[in-house]
Amino acid sequence: MTEYALIDCNNFYASCERAFRPDLRNRPIVVLSNNDGCIIARSNEVKALGIEMGIPYFKCKAQLDRQGVTAFSSNYTLYGDMSARVMRVLQRFCPAVEMYSIDEAFVDLTGVPGGALAFSRHLKATVENWTGIPVSIGIGATKTLAKVANRFAKKESRCRGVFDLIRSPEPDRVLRWTDIGDVWGIGRRHAKRLRSFDVQTAFDFKQLSRDWVKRKMTVTGLHTLLELRGFPCHEFAAGPVPKKTIVSSRSFGHPVTRLEHLLEATAQYCTRAAEKLRRQKSVTSTVLVFLETNTFKPGQPQYSNTMSIPLQVSTAHTPTLIRAAQSGIDHIYREGYAFKKCGVILSGLEPVNGRWLSLLDLPPDAHDRHAPIMEAMDTCNARWGRDTLKFAAVGINGSWRMKRELCSQRYTTAWKELLVVKA
């Protein structure tokens, strides 16, 4: 029998902030979205106060201040580096690791010495000691069951953050405890429909017939059913899975009306998307751009538009992508509107060594002549800090950049922002 475990970092963004602020241990923390808009992460202490996820910061700021809650702007540089540290610990101890998201990973524990439960308890303690990030671990015969086990480990204090569903004396009791909307792969739409058929829990769903599930929910739902019954349907992907699309977008710090500022922002987002593209060793054949006004202010003139720009040759060359994206923004821009957001989406991704060429294309060596320049630029920025080298098209200190008034230090990636320890 396969034995999968899901390792999930607890309240990840809040835990990252707390790891370098011991004075905030056991104190309430929230992390805000771009432009300090909404609450996107909460410590357990904030959850206990009844403050909801997604609530706009300006609506609850007075309450947070009264209750001594510390708020942080999103510090994605810190979170990305802390995620990498957690994943490196997992890769050091686990035979196979599949990074599922920035704060989650599946590991294959089949046949580990000492048994999966003891191994997971040791792994949990090691991750927390080495990184400062608390984690919960759920063990199951499939990925879906590992997800169920992980949720149970988080909610039940007697589990102490680790739960083995495979060796549980009452696995069906855990499935009865699991709401149908919390089952991995179900989603809101299917959960609502299933409840109309009086399917309230994972156990209820497990009792349905294969034919009924496949007819109502296609083969995707059938796979979820089989996984809940202990039959693995989701393959284990050791190593990162290349993304099929890459999105880079941010809301502006204030409304933007001028085309030149939109072009700068587009170049910035294109630069970030191209970095991600090269990191997974892919190229793109299509650049899509979009821009939109603030839909939450209906009293203002509203406008939004998108444009897709096909590339003659698939590429990961940043200047080529910037030119394509800026041409799209220039085409869909309209005067007289205050824009709140724009973005870039790269699609038609394929491996850099597996792209298709037509008879009219240039030879591969001509396509790759810019690769050494991009590689050198990426290496320099990785070593000396983001945007040490950048393209003039992104501008300098653009007024459009998102607001981050409560941002913490880049404790792990900037020399000038390292913590100073005094005896």
Q: Does 28 lie in the same domain as 164? A: yes
Residue 400 lies in a domain: no
80 and 138 in a common domain: yes
Angle between helices 259-279 and 318-332 (to 10 degrees): 140
Q: Say if residue 124 is in the same domain as residue 224.
A: no
Q: Quick one: 125 and 202 in the same domain? A: no
- Domain membership flag for residue 175: no
Determine the Cα angle at 144 with ends 142 and 145, to 5°.
65
Q: What is the CATH number of the domain that holds 121?
A: 3.30.70.270
Question: Is the domain of 273 the same as that of 317?
Answer: yes
Same domain, 127 and 158: yes
In the prediction, which pLDDT does 145 show? 98
**pLDDT recorded at residue 395:** 87
Q: What are the backbone dihedrals phi and psi of residue 413, each rounded to the nearest 5 degrees, phi first?
A: -130, -5
Residues 6+ apart with CB under 8 A from 16: 75, 78, 79, 82, 133
Pair 149, 208 in one domain: no
In a domain, 406, yes or no: no
Co-location of 374 and 260 in the same domain: yes
Structure tokens at 211: 């034919």
> What is the token pair recorded at 374?
């991009």
Helix, strand, or coil (residue 405): coil
**Looking at 316-403, which runs of residues are DSSP E strands?**
339-347, 350-351
Give one DSSP letter per residue of 26-55, joined into a string. TS-EEEE-GGG-BEEEE-HHHHHTTPPTT-
Neighbours of 189 (CB within 10 A): 9
CB within 8 A of 135, min separation 6: which ones? 7, 8, 9, 10, 86, 124, 127, 128, 161
Task: Quickly list DSSP for 172-233.
Answer: HHHHHHSBGGGSTTTHHHHHHHHHHTT--BHHHHHTS-HHHHHHHHHHHHHHHHHHHTT---
Strand order in the sheet with 29-32: 39-42, 29-32, 70-73
User: Which 8-state DSSP code applies to residue 403?
Assistant: P
Determine the length of the chain: 423
CA 262 and chain centroid, separation: 25
Same domain, 11 and 57: yes
Q: Does residue 116 share a domain with residue 221?
A: no
Q: What is the CA radius of gyration of the chain?
A: 24
Torsions phi, psi for 105 (to 5 deg): -150, 140
Q: Is residue 388 part of a domain?
A: yes
Strand-pair category, 104-108 with 97-101: antiparallel
DSSP 114-182: T-HHHHHHHHHHHHHHHHS--EEEEEESSHHHHHHHHHHHHH-GGGTTEEESTT-S-HHHHHHHSBGGG
pLDDT score, position 364: 53
Amino acid at 285: S
Q: Quick one: DSSP state of residue 25?
A: T
Which of 168, 195, 214 is a domain's end point? 168
The CATH number for 364's domain is 3.30.1490.100
C-alpha distances out from residue 90 to 84, 107, 359, 371, 411, Å = 10, 8, 46, 32, 22
On whether both 36 and 145 belong to a single domain, the answer is yes
For residue 74, is it within any domain? yes
The per-residue pLDDT for 356 is: 60
Residue-by-residue pLDDT tens, the chain, 423 positions: 889 999 999 999 999 999 999 999 999 999 999 888 899 999 999 999 999 999 999 999 999 999 999 999 999 989 999 999 999 999 999 989 999 999 999 999 998 988 999 999 999 999 999 999 999 999 999 999 999 999 999 999 899 999 999 999 999 999 999 999 999 999 999 999 999 999 999 999 999 999 999 999 999 999 999 999 999 999 887 666 788 999 999 888 889 999 999 999 999 999 999 999 999 999 999 999 999 999 888 889 999 999 999 998 899 999 999 999 999 999 999 999 999 999 999 999 999 886 665 555 555 545 567 889 999 999 998 888 788 899 999 987 766 777 778 999 989 888 888 888 887
The answer to whether the beta carbons of residues 171 and 165 sit under 8 Å apart is: yes
For residue 90, give its domain range: 1-168
Q: Domain ends where: 109, 134, 168?
A: 168
Q: Is residue 423 part of a domain?
A: no
Tell me whether residue 75 is in a domain: yes
What pLDDT, on the 0 to 100 scale, is given for residue 367?
Answer: 54
- In this structure, the answer to whether residues 9 and 137 fall within a common structural domain is yes
Q: Which pLDDT belongs to residue 226?
A: 97
Within-domain flag for 365: yes
Number of domains within the chain: 3
At residue 312, the 3 state secondary structure works out as: strand
